[in-house]
Amino acid sequence: MSDERDSAPVTVASLRELKARGGRFACLTAYDATFAALEEQAGVEVLLVGDSLGMVIQGRETTLPVTVEDMIYHCACVARGRRRALIMADLPFMSDLTPQRALEDGARLMKEGGAHVIKIEGGGEMAETVSLLSRRGIPVCAHLGLQPQSVHKLGGYPVQGRDPEAARRIVEGARRLCEAGADLLLLECVPAALAREVSTNVPVPVIGIGAGPDCDGQVLVVYDMLGITPGRRPRFVKDFLAQEGSIPAALSAYVREVKAGSFPGPEHGFR
């Protein structure tokens, strides 16, 4: 018999309950109505309208040129294909220049794009912004570890938090962001042991990408997990289409493996 929880809308509260029960959830990027519907049918709980759309949809070299209008357009496309999944949208580069601007652009993503959660890249230094959005009723996911919008500062996409001081900054940042009102955290490209430490010590669900198996949820760029993104495949990506042979089967296998804890495996993580 299907559980009522399987048809009720996914919310930040239901993800928190899932974490409390020790459950895991699946998140994938989606940029249009067709993929939103397919992913949801496969059991994906969180649809991320990522600013990765700048690279995989628009063919740009980085996510930096993506505008809030681009994000609203793709978010609204995803919202038309969604029935119960939670829609999370990225605040694009420099939309967080001031807390006020983050509030205004985040509100546009919700009002015009239909987003439910706004994702903001940054560590503890974003606490004031997260606090303002949270106090105004906007759920926030704080994206720590590797922050692709800082690609030029970082000189690429290196693993973060490997030395003790950098790891301490991530742990401390996660704590401050939760205190400021973040509803979710996302950890990108950090050692698996560090992600485990953060996930077990914060009250909110933590979504990992290249962060080992011990986060509460996992996310990948959907074209990466279908093996159709041109260029070199990052270590944390698995090609589920090659394994399964069709897109619906690949999406279902991803959800199944994330929930069972068999994806990501040790070969997809960092030390």
Q: Does 147 bind ligand KIV (CB under 6 A)?
A: no
Binding test (CB under 6 A) with ligand KIV, winner from 182, 184, 209, 241: 209
Note whether 5 and 14 are within 8 A (CB).
yes
Q: Does 29 bind ligand KIV (CB under 6 A)?
A: yes
Q: Does 178 bind ligand KIV (CB under 6 A)?
A: no
Smallest separation (angstroms) from ligand KIV to the CB of 56: 8
Structure tokens at 75: 């978010």
- CA nearest 27: which of 257, 239, 218? 218
Residue count, binding to ligand KIV (CB under 6 A) = 11
Which residues, at least 6 apart from 216, have a Cβ–Cβ distance to it below 8 Å? 15, 18, 19, 23, 24, 25, 199, 205, 206, 207
Cβ-based nearer residue to ligand KIV, 121 or 257? 121
- CA nearest 137: which of 12, 8, 9? 12
Residue 197 falls in the annotated catalytic set = no
Q: What is the sign, positive or negative, of the torsion defined by CA atoms of 253, 257, 262, 264?
A: positive
> Going residue by residue from 58 to 97, which x/- string records binding to ligand KIV, judged by CB under 6 A?
--------------------------------x-------
Binding test (CB under 6 A) with ligand KIV, winner from 40, 51, 70, 216: 51
Q: Does 181 bind ligand KIV (CB under 6 A)?
A: no
Q: Does 131 bind ligand KIV (CB under 6 A)?
A: no
Q: Can you tell me which residue has the tokens 């978010």?
A: 75
What are the residue numbers of the active site?
Answer: 188
